[in-house]
Structure 1
Amino acid sequence: MDGRIRPSVGRGTVLDVAELPDVATLLDAAVRAVGGSRREGQVAMADAVAAAVDTDEHLVVQAGTGTGKSLAYLVPALRHAIAEDTTVVVSTATIALQRQLIDRDLPRLAPALAPLLGREPTFAILKGRRNYLCKQRLHAAGSEPDEAELFDPRAVSSLGRQVQRLHEWAEETDSGDRDQLVPGVSDLAWRQVSVAANECVGATVCAFGHECFAEQAREDAGDVDVVVTNHALLAIDAMQGYHILPEHRVLLVDEAHDLVDRVTSVATGVLSERAVSIAAKRAARLVEAGLTERLGEAGDGLALMFTDSEPGRLDHIPDPLAGAVAAVRDAARACVGAVGPADTADPEGATVRRLALAALNEVHDAAVRVLESYEPPLRDRTDVVWLAKSPKQPPSLHVAPLAVGGLLREKLFGDRTTVLTSATLALGGSFSALAVQWGLGRETTGEPAAPRTGRAKRTAPEPAAAEPAAAEGAAGADEAAPAADLTAAGEPRWKGLDVGSPFDHGRSGILYVAKHLPPPGRDGLDPRYLDEIAELIDAAGGRALGLFSSMRAAAQAAEELRERVEPPILCQGDDSTGQLVRRFAEDDPTCLFGTLSLWQGVDVPGPALQLVIVDRIPFPRPDDPLASARQRAVGAGGGNGFMAVAATHAALLLAQGTGRLLRSMDDRGVVAVLDPRLATARYGGFLRASLPPYWATADPEVARAALRRLDAAAAAPMASAG
């Protein structure tokens, strides 16, 4: 299945909402279709989503694991889309949830609701252009050696084999979607046959525009009831002017706890010697040799300055580094001017120019942004710059916004109704911390806004033009729904709702804080921490997910404990994360150790996971350039930078990590936090209030006894079966 549902008969008719069954009736039908049971939290959330859509008031909903939040927002979304003949956009952070919505939830919902809604709802998935194979780039693959030449020659033959495989796949795929290619190829190989939005010449110019996979996906998404996308594409669509998503007035943001990080990533500029080299090589076929030589030399100078500079945040840019960045800026600008506009009569030549201009503009714009970030006084800056250097990655200069709340308020919340949901949003027992980061301000009090009177009718997407930014289309004033109302302070109106969880956390889980251990140090895991982990694993008979604050700590624990405990221990990096999680889930005694990517998204119900171990509170590193700059900026404004940034970051990860324990109604287990600061530090109360309400203890024997009982209970069915 390629994730696309063709429009069904009967669309185009705008219905009165009163003609359709209410949300409760539709939700009951949906729950029956998926074999579930009625959950009060799910009903409350569905009603709240419907009310938010009716009143144009933003909604923040925390829905704990097991609530069934996907159905709770999809049902009112589908009802609204069909009643008003419009499109609703759902944005998620992870591929796993996108696939769940497209491959499981929506295919079961659509036929179940069809008799009640008058027709079968339609849906599509839409990703960034880079996720789809580009036939024009595929046609040119092998004739553009600019990127491959920058790599070890031994990798080139492997690259060629992968590109050849992509040629073969192109003849059989209907979607061109990278996720449909199994097994996959390296990022380098995929870049040879794909383009970013700023590299595309547009369907009207491209020789393959009439059979473009990305354009087909966009066309499909323009005439369906629900479009599923991701936070990165949502940010690009809203902030960079490409307008890839169809016109919509209702946006549902799932995994909203990740929204700020994903938007920040999209808004971050990167300048590296490699990027300069690629830009020079792409421009070499189009401009005088002297210009590209000048750009190449500027890149060499930048690399030299990187070598002489210390990594980390750069509050002040040294003159030699500033001169190197300025040289790159000026040389790139000269090349841009010499390349000139694309010739629409020469599609292949237009593609070459577009690729060159994209690379040159990326380098130029990053250099400009770096230099301009230093113009205001330190206290008034809106960007932070840092130099990243590591043994595995070449040096690069990064520039990122100190905050994205203003961008979100203006670009995302200003002209549509937005529902933000996740299992972990109420940090410290309040939505305030994340609301500030999103730019929502204080929660609205008093009566909600009046229901909307206008309707955002579905409109076909604008055809792509030679310049993607020119494809922007806007509904007429008579068709546009009013923007979400603002409070008197000019902030978007929003309400918060915590619908809880059907799990009885106090009876199903124990939060054990190892209060007797010393605070974690900086020189690896304390031997007493390793002893504690060994005792917990022995008591549990394995079945442990170890969440560590660094890869070094995870590797140290795995290496040392493999000699001390009987259950097998897998460690992130031994294989792909997906394969490791599968092996962990399939073999009950096995343990899995890892770092950040395991804190979120691991869904292993049943006895394979009965113990979650957290080695330390996951504060950002003190030398993290962006977090430290944001913390300082909050402090300069009179706020508590530590609580607003570091503690909020830690609370979010702790809530996500400890949420791995209970994934089904029958799950039982222990969360063991080895960092005693969770119990002893002043900020510990804020962090504990962010976690599910497990029964708490600081007694190690209580935790171990509970694990031994769970191990015995899990082993009993296997013994009787044997």
Structure 2
Amino acid sequence: MEVADLLATAVEALGGASRDGQIAMAEAVAQAFTSGRHLAVQAGTGTGKSLAYLVPAIAHALDESRPVVVSTATIALQRQLVDRDLPRLADSLADVLPRRPTFALLKGRGNYLCLNKIHNGSAGSEPDDVPQEELFSPVASSALGRDVQRLTEWSETTATGDRDELKPGVADRSWSQVSVSARECIGVSRCPFGTDCFSERARGRAGDADIVVTNHALLAIDAIGDANVLPEHDLLVVDEAHELVDRVTGVATAELSATSLGVAHRRAARIVAPELAERLEAATATFSAAIFEARPGRIDVLDEELASYLAALRDAAHAARTAVDTAPNDPKTTSARAEAATALSEVGDTASRILDSFVPAIPDRTDVVWLDHIEDARSGSRALLRVAPLSVAGLLRSRLFGHTTAVLTSATLTIGGNFDSMASAWGLTGAADREQDRTGEGAGWRGLDVGSPFDHAKSGILYVAAHLPPPGRDGTGSAEQLDEIAGLIEAADGRTLGLFSSMRAAKAAAEVMRERLATPVLCQGEDTTSALVQRFADDEQTSLFGTLSLWQGVDVPGPSLSLVLIDRIPFPRPDDPLLTARQRAVAARGGNGFMAVAASHAALLLAQGAGRLLRRVDDRGVVAVLDSRMATARYSGFLRASLPPFWATTDGAAVRAALQRLRAPN
């Protein structure tokens, strides 16, 4: 049966309606799987893109007896696929498929309980990832002990050992006492609990499944790491593909901090000779003091003092690591040795990577190094020395897209009106076929925008407050902007999602609006984000202000959301070390670094933020950008081309009148 017929059967069984964009996407995905040509497909909200890629994925997996891997950025979508979409789809196609398809959810090893660590490892002992002063807090110790005891009891009843199935959950600190990373695992052949291992069982289920659902981080680990984590596969679907580069960059980023070095030292001190532990402790103390006192920011030139501290740390970590014997032994000893070896290797390897990154001249470097100072409410000020790849395009091209056929999809992939920026970041665009790729029909990939079932021009208004002064540098709104916010929310009678460029701006605006408005205003950070979103959705007069996670994570259809406020164009911070280094690299090659990096970053976030407005076909409302540069700056056309085709205006009175008309009947 053709994929369009399979899709029609599924849609009818599920009580849905035929959508041209969904059909076009399903046929394009099937063609990509057959031809081996990568596909980038933008599918606006309401298209039903999950069904559009799952139907051809199931058909191909059953025809070829080979699995298809589906990778997403969020736990919510992973759960939706495995718990709802795939079971319903399998039921709907039961009469037309040769057999019922199977599917599995696979996460990183650290998401599962480790039975060896619970029974033979360090669970319940002195935690080595907690600041020393907290070890003597009776409240902290008892809370940690209660969590570990609860997790140990849960290990006897859970069928999966999956952290997400533990309700209520526990803090990361507690979970770390009963889990291991892939590098810390002693291996199924050496582990006395290998046959019962939750992670291995999950991998076993994934190895037998037709559709394997995973996340971008695990996909990156599988692609760029040394071990094969995912089942062998030739076909890949990357949903929420606009997140892929950041997630892969996160996996490829390493850091050194007093906390991580302290963990490595404490683990090593239990195993290696005292002189080696003391050498590592001294190197750790000197290095930690140096980065704590240094000025944060990108480091282009490594001074001799810090270089010598890094070299001493590298050598001390490698010497201690060499002394750790990880050969088969008593299970408890083996587990402790594996954890120590992993921590020491990470310290030594990261120090070496940072030192090596400064060897080439600046234009030839592939890594960026910077120092962060972070204020933590629990542990105070922390200093971290970080190293990240300047670009992951080469990694993705050679390690991922070089041996799989990929379908990359999202509601927002065209930046400035085309796929060029995303394709370049993914490594799909090579210099030789650049001109072909501009048409969306390059030799190795194809770009397709299947549109949206929404009539954006009739359903939404894009309002740019061109009369406002340009936003200031302090991150908070001007008096004129606050007046504008109050007038718009009053016209909408609440029903507003305020998306701000910083938490400081969100809190300041919320404080002022609570004094000026009769309708409730919530602000991110006052409760869990999910709880705040639920309260926002439940009360039509409530407004919710927040920052980045709300730009991409809110799905509130209906009259509770009639106005999306965006306080300023979300350019990256001018001191962002990684993005400014990427801008410089583009400029060094003769390109426009601002447009390629900063403007593209802002365009993607604007598109994500504007996408919060229309979540179903009968939604109506306004996206208000309170940054006059959106109307006056030379790059404004590029930014607007990245947004849905709303009806656009700079007439505030007309927008307020429209919002008043949208009010639900009292």
Q: TM-score scaled by structure 1?
A: 0.89
CA contact (8 A) 1:548 1:616 kept: yes
Give the one of 413, 417, 424 matched to 1:436: 424
Give the one of 385, 409, 421 matched to 1:397: 385
1:648 counterpart residue number: 600
- AA paired with 1:145? P
For residues 80 and 588 of structure 2, what CA distance do their matches in structure 1 show? 43
Distance change >3 Å, CA 638–CA 196, structure 1 → 2:
same
Provide the alpha-carbon RMSD of the alignment. 1.6
For the pair 1:503 / 2:487, whether they are aligned, the reply is no
1:106 counterpart residue number: 86
- AA paired with 2:202? A
For residues 294 and 377 of structure 1, what CA distance do their matches in structure 2 show? 32
Distance change >3 Å, CA 517–CA 149, structure 1 → 2:
closer
Superposition pairs for residues 105-504 of structure 1, below 5 Å? 105-139=85-119, 140=121, 141-148=123-130, 150=132, 152=134, 153-154=136-137, 155-340=140-325, 342-392=326-376, 393-441=381-429, 493-504=444-455
- AA paired with 1:573? G
Per-residue deviation, residues 30-60 of structure 1 (Å, max 9, x unmatched): 1123321000000000000000011000000
Give the one of 44, 47, 54 matched to 1:74: 54
Gapped regions of structure 2 (runs ≥ 5): none
Pairwise CA distance, 1:492: 6.7
Counterpart secondary structure, 1:137: helix
Superposition pairs for residues 630-709 of structure 1, below 5 Å? 630-709=582-661
Counterpart secondary structure, 1:500: coil
For residues 400 and 199 of structure 2, what CA distance do their matches in structure 1 show? 23
Per-residue deviation, residues 473-522 of structure 1 (Å, max 9, x unmatched): xxxxxxxxxxxxx99xxx97000100000000000000000000011001
For residues 599 and 593 of structure 1, what CA distance do their matches in structure 2 show? 10
Identify the range of structure 1 (429-438 vs 153-162) with the bigger mean alpha-carbon deviation.
Answer: 153-162
Counterpart secondary structure, 1:616: coil
For residues 128 and 458 of structure 2, what CA distance do their matches in structure 1 show? 60
Superposition pairs for residues 456-605 of structure 1, below 5 Å? 493-523=444-474, 524-605=476-557
CA contact (8 A) 2:131 2:259 kept: no
Per-residue deviation, residues 648-684 of structure 1 (Å, max 9, x unmatched): 0000000000000000011000000000111110100
For residues 594 and 218 of structure 2, what CA distance do their matches in structure 1 show? 31
Identify the range of structure 1 (30-39 vs 330-339) with the bigger mean alpha-carbon deviation.
Answer: 30-39
Counterpart secondary structure, 2:125: coil
Per-residue deviation, residues 82-130 of structure 1 (Å, max 9, x unmatched): 0011100000001111111111100100111121111111100000001
Counterpart secondary structure, 2:96: helix
For residues 116 and 657 of structure 2, what CA distance do their matches in structure 1 show? 63
Counterpart secondary structure, 1:545: strand
CA contact (8 A) 1:555 1:571 kept: yes
- AA paired with 1:218? R
Pairwise CA distance, 1:442: 5.9
Counterpart secondary structure, 1:192: helix
- AA paired with 1:259? L
For residues 448 and 224 of structure 2, what CA distance do their matches in structure 1 show? 28
CA contact (8 A) 1:444 1:495 kept: no
Per-residue deviation, residues 304-353 of structure 1 (Å, max 9, x unmatched): 1013210010011122211111111011001011113x232422221111
Pairwise CA distance, 1:409: 0.2
Q: Percent identity?
A: 62
Superposition pairs for residues 16-55 of structure 1, below 5 Å? 21-55=1-35
For residues 529 and 289 of structure 1, what CA distance do their matches in structure 2 show? 62
For residues 203 and 666 of structure 1, what CA distance do their matches in structure 2 show? 53
- AA paired with 1:88? V
Pairwise CA distance, 1:182: 1.0
1:7 counterpart residue number: none
For the pair 1:59 / 2:59, whether they are aligned, the reply is no
- AA paired with 2:193? F
CA contact (8 A) 1:384 1:400 kept: yes
**Matched residues, number:** 652
Pairwise CA distance, 1:149: 5.5
Pairwise CA distance, 1:145: 3.1
CA contact (8 A) 2:118 2:178 kept: yes
Pairwise CA distance, 1:433: 0.6
CA contact (8 A) 2:127 2:177 kept: no
Counterpart secondary structure, 1:81: helix
Q: TM-score scaled by structure 2?
A: 0.96
For residues 118 and 443 of structure 1, what CA distance do their matches in structure 2 show? 44
Per-residue deviation, residues 354-384 of structure 1 (Å, max 9, x unmatched): 1001110111111011100000011111100
CA contact (8 A) 1:121 1:225 kept: yes
- AA paired with 2:452? S
Identify the range of structure 1 (227-236 vs 313-322) with the bigger mean alpha-carbon deviation.
Answer: 313-322
- AA paired with 2:543? C
For residues 223 and 610 of structure 2, what CA distance do their matches in structure 1 show? 33
CA contact (8 A) 1:409 1:440 kept: yes
CA contact (8 A) 2:129 2:260 kept: no
CA contact (8 A) 2:14 2:92 kept: no
For residues 611 and 159 of structure 1, what CA distance do their matches in structure 2 show? 43
Pairwise CA distance, 1:24: 0.9
For residues 609 and 147 of structure 1, what CA distance do their matches in structure 2 show? 42
For residues 247 and 151 of structure 1, what CA distance do their matches in structure 2 show? 46
Counterpart secondary structure, 1:271: strand
CA contact (8 A) 2:36 2:405 kept: yes
Distance change >3 Å, CA 389–CA 492, structure 1 → 2:
farther
Counterpart secondary structure, 2:222: helix
1:454 counterpart residue number: none
Give the one of 51, 66, 70 matched to 1:86: 66
Counterpart secondary structure, 2:573: coil
Pairwise CA distance, 1:158: 1.5
Per-residue deviation, residues 240-271 of structure 1 (Å, max 9, x unmatched): 12211001000000000000000000000111
